[in-house]
Amino acid sequence: MKKPSSKLRLWIYPLITALVVALVGMWAIGTVRREIQKNLKKELSTILSANVNALEIWIEAHKNTISVITTGTNLRRIVMELVSLEDGNRLSANRNSRLIRKNLQMDLNDQLSEKIKRANYSGFVVIDPKGRVIAAGSDDLIGMHIPGMPEFHKRRSPRRGPRLAKKPLRIGRLVHVFETGEPEVVAPFKVTFSELPREFAQSQPRDSSSIIMMVGSPILSDEGEIIAVLGLRIRPREDFTRILSVARSGQSGESYAFNTEGMIISESRFDQQLMDLNILENSSENTCVLNLQLRDPGGDLTQGFVNSDPRSSYPLTYPVKLALGEKSSDGINIDGFRDYRGVNVVGAWKWLPEYDFGVVSKMDAVVAYRPLVVLRRTFVVLIGMLSFSSIGMLVSSLGAVRLQRRVQKAEMEIRQLGQYTLRKKIGEDGGMGAVFLADHVLMKRPTAVKLLPPEKAGRSAVARFEREVQFTSRLSHPNTIQIFDYGHTPEGVFYYAMEYLEGINLKKLIRDFGPQPDGRVIHILDQICASLTEAHRRDLIHRDIKPANVILCERGGIYDTVKVLDFGLVKSIGSPEESSEIMVTQEQSITGTPLYMSPESIEEPSTVDGRSDLYSLGALAYFLVSGENVFQGRSIMDICRRHIDTPAVSLSERTDKPVDQRLEQLIMQCLEKDPQARPATADALQSELRKCAAFGAWNDSDIRDWWNQKLRQDASRPEKSDQDTASQIAETIQINYKERQIG
C-alpha cells in the first residue's frame, strides 16, 4: 500500500513542472521580445532609409532635369527678352510690345512643351525677381503676382546672394532659388481660388483647390545673374506618393510624408478606411493629401472609439510632434504609439530639413508582435494543461498504475527466458532492443541475451530480429559472434542468446587510446576479413561494418581476438526465395551507418554485394589509422553526398604519423567509388594485407603488454561523453527514398 505522501508527489510534479514552464516561458517571452524588437528596429530603419534614399534620388533627378532645361541658350534668350519687356514697364505701351510678348510666349511654349511632356511635368511658370509670372503654360496665369512673394530691391550674383525683403513667402521654397541660385523642389502645397488672381479665380468654383508640387531652377543672364526662376509642376499623386508606397511591410505597413504644419502630403493606404470613419469626405476623387492633419485621436477609431472633441484639438502624433519640435529629429519607437487612426503602431521617422518635410514608416504593433502573442498563448495553454493534469492525477489511481509498471519492469529484468536468467542490462542495440547479461540455468555460463520487447515487435522489427539470428547462426568462424539459442515468451518478448564478450569495441578504442599502430590495424583487419570471407561465401553481406560492431576481446587465452557483431542488417544475395522477404522492407531504402556506407548502398541499395562491405571496412581502417572518419558533414545527407562524389583525402595528408605505404594503398583502394576498382573479395584483401611491411609487427608481446598495462590501467576511468558531431549521427539509419532524395 502506498503512503499518502507518495500519492501527494504524483500530482505535485505537474505543478512543479508548470512553475518551471512558467519561469521558462517568462524567460523565452522576454528573449523573443528583445529579438523581435531588435529585428523591428532593423526592419523599420531599413524601410525608412529605403524610402528617404528613393525620395532623394527622385528629387535629385528632377533637379538635374530642370537644370539641363534652364541652361538652354534659346530659353535664356527668350526669358531675358521677357524680363526686359517687364522691366521696361511696357505691359500695355503699344500694340507692338504686346505682339512681341505674345511671340516670345509662343517661342517659350515651343521650347518647353516637348521637354515637359517627355519629363512627365504638367505645366510651367516663369517668375521674375519681383514675383511676377512673366510666362506660363496657361495664359490665365501670365501677369499674376505670387501672393507674398518678396521683391528684390537689387539683383546680385548668385555667388554673393540677393538682398531680400523680410515679407514672408507664400509659395514655399521657390524663394531659395533666388537666394542660393540652386535648383529646389517645393513639397506639395494646396492653392485655393482665393490665392489666384481675380480674373483667374472668377472662372473657378468657389470650393476649388489644387495640390501643387514644383521643382524650380534659376535662369541666369550672360553675366551670371539670376533673371528669373523656371518652375515645373510635378504630379505628386503619380510620383511622390508612388515612391513612398514601394517599400512597406505587410498589409499594415505604410510610409508617408508630412509638412511643417503636420499635414500629410502623400497618400495614405488607408484612405477608404478614413472615409468609412468620416475623417475624410467619402468621394472617389478625395484624398488625405493636405486634407488630413496627423493628430492622435486618443483611442483606436477602427475599434469603435469615439472622441467628441474637434480633431484640431487632438495632439500631433508622436513622431510628427518630435520631428516638428526639433526640425532635425529622426528616431524610432518600437514600444508603440497611436497613429492618425488611433491604432497602436511602431515606426521610424526622419525630418529632412533640406526639403522642409519629414517621412514616417510604420506598421501595426499587433502585426509586428504577432509571434510574441502566439508564444505567450502557447505557454499559457501549456501551463493550464499541466495544472489540469495535476488535478486529474490527484483524483485518479495513476499511482497504482505506476507501481504496477514498476513491478512489471522488475519482473521483466528477473524473468526466466528459457534456460537463461537475466541478471542486468548491459546495453542497447540502436533502439531495436535491449541486451542483458544472463546465466544459463544448468551450465552457469555468462551469456548475452538480446530482447525485443512487445512494444517494439512490429512486423519489420521481428523480421530483422529473426534474420539476425538465422543468418548469424549459419556462421561459425571464430571471428564472428556465436548464437546459442532463440525463442520468445508467451507475452510476446522475442529473444536470442549469444556469447558474452568482455572487451572493447573499436569506437571506444580510438576514443580512449587514439590512432593505432599500423601493425595492430593490419592484425584487426586480417581477422575482420576472415569473418567476412565466410559470410560472403555464404552469400551474406553484413551492410553495417563500423567500429561499434567490432569488439576486441580475449578468447581461449588469446587477446586482441576480433569479434564481428550485429548481423541485423545482413542481406542474402543467394536464392530469390531466401531474399524476397528481406526486400519487402528494404526496397528503395538506404540501410547502414552514414559514416561507413558505400556509394552504391546509398544510390542503389538493391545492387550491393560483398565489395560494399569492403568499402565500409576501408572507412573503418581509415578511422583506426588516423583517428578520424573519412568524411565529416553537418548532416546525414551531407555525409552521404560526400561518399558519392567526393574523393577521400589520402592518409598521408590526414595524419602526421608515417603510414605503411602498402596499407595506405589498400585502404584507399577499398574507398574507391567504383566497386570494380576495389579488391574483389575479402579473402583477396586479406592476402594483400599480409604482404604489408607492418604485417606481424604487432606481436604477442605487444598484445600482452597493451592488455596488461594499458587496458587494465584505464578500465577504471569514467566513460567520456562523445561530443563528436560525426558520432552523433553515426547511428544505424533507414532513409526512405520517397521522402528524401540524395541529390
Catalytic positions: 544
Contact (Cβ atoms closer than 8 angstroms) between residue 349 and residue 48: yes
Query: Residue for cell digits 602526421?
Result: 656
Contacts with 45 (C-beta within 8 Å, 6 or more apart), sequence order = 332, 348
Q: Is 205 helix (H, G, I), strand (E, B) or coil?
A: coil
Angle at which helix 682-689 crosses helix 610-626, to 10 degrees, equals 30
Nearest-angstrom CA–CA distance, 617 and 672: 12
647 φψ region: left (φ > 0), alpha (ψ -120 to 50), beta (else): beta
Q: Please report how many Cα atoms fall inside a 13 Å half-sphere around the Cα of residue 475, on the Cβ side.
A: 33
Exposed/middle/buried for 387, CB within 10 Å: 0-12, 13-18, 19+?
Answer: middle
The DSSP letter of residue 454 is G
Query: Residue for cell digits 528573449?
Result: 31
Q: Is 505 helix (H, G, I), strand (E, B) or coil?
A: strand
Please give the distance of CA 318 from its chain centroid, rounded to a whole number: 33
Nearest-angstrom CA–CA distance, 259 and 351: 9
Nearest-angstrom CA–CA distance, 19 and 387: 9
Q: Is 242 helix (H, G, I), strand (E, B) or coil?
A: helix
The C-alpha R_g of the chain, in whole angstroms, comes to 44
Nearest-angstrom CA–CA distance, 225 and 452: 101
Q: Is 438 helix (H, G, I), strand (E, B) or coil?
A: strand
185 has which bridge partners? 215
Q: Which letter, b or e, does each residue of 467-480 get, where b requires 16 or more Cβ atoms within 10 Å of its Cβ? A: bbbbbbbbbebebb
345 has which bridge partners? 337, 364
Q: Please report how many Cα atoms fall inside a 13 Å half-sphere around the Cα of residue 245, on the Cβ side.
A: 13
Q: Please report how many Cα atoms fall inside a 13 Å half-sphere around the Cα of residue 688, on the Cβ side.
A: 18
Q: Is 622 helix (H, G, I), strand (E, B) or coil?
A: helix
Going by C-alpha positions, the residue among 427, 409, 570 that lies closest to residue 500 is: 427
